[in-house]
Amino acid sequence: MQRHILPEDRVHPAVRHKIGSRHSDIVDEVRSAVAANQVVVVGMKQNPNPIKARLLLNKAGVDHVYLEYGSYLNQWRRRNALKMWTGWPTFPMVFVGGVLVGGASDLRALIEADELQPLLKEPEN
């Protein structure tokens, strides 16, 4: 997969810090949750798709952590940092075993194809 990202040498040194630190708190929070949990769903209020993803996981008996950031009416700038970090354009963002697997419909496809369980990390002793 190749994703177009502006190379650092094409960004003026005076603004690099702004780019690297803008809403880094939300990215750090999600990264920590993904590292510490087998399944993480990142969503927002008023969006039915995070609810669908969580219901699918509950039905499959898969424990998960849910992180919610704002709604259609607020926190879009903070959520944009997550979109830029992952390259994923919508919510929810579903992480399984540390890997972004997509959104609710992608999660449904994994479950229907019996491909979700193999993605789960084995608990470390």
Q: Is residue 1 part of a domain?
A: no
- The closest alpha carbon to 112, from 37, 56, 38, 29, belongs to 56
Q: Is residue 123 part of a domain?
A: no
Q: Is residue 124 part of a domain?
A: no
Q: Is residue 100 part of a domain?
A: yes
In contact, 39 and 94? CB cutoff 8 Å: yes
In contact, 108 and 88? CB cutoff 8 Å: no
In contact, 88 and 103? CB cutoff 8 Å: yes
Q: Is residue 91 part of a domain?
A: yes
Residue pLDDT, tens place only, 56-109: 999 999 999 999 999 999 999 999 999 999 999 999 999 999 999 999 999 999
Residue pLDDT, tens place only, 7-40: 999 999 999 999 889 999 999 999 999 999 999 9
Total domains, the chain: 1
Domain, as residue range, for 39? 8-114
Q: Is residue 120 part of a domain?
A: no
What CATH number should be reported for the domain holding residue 69?
3.40.30.10
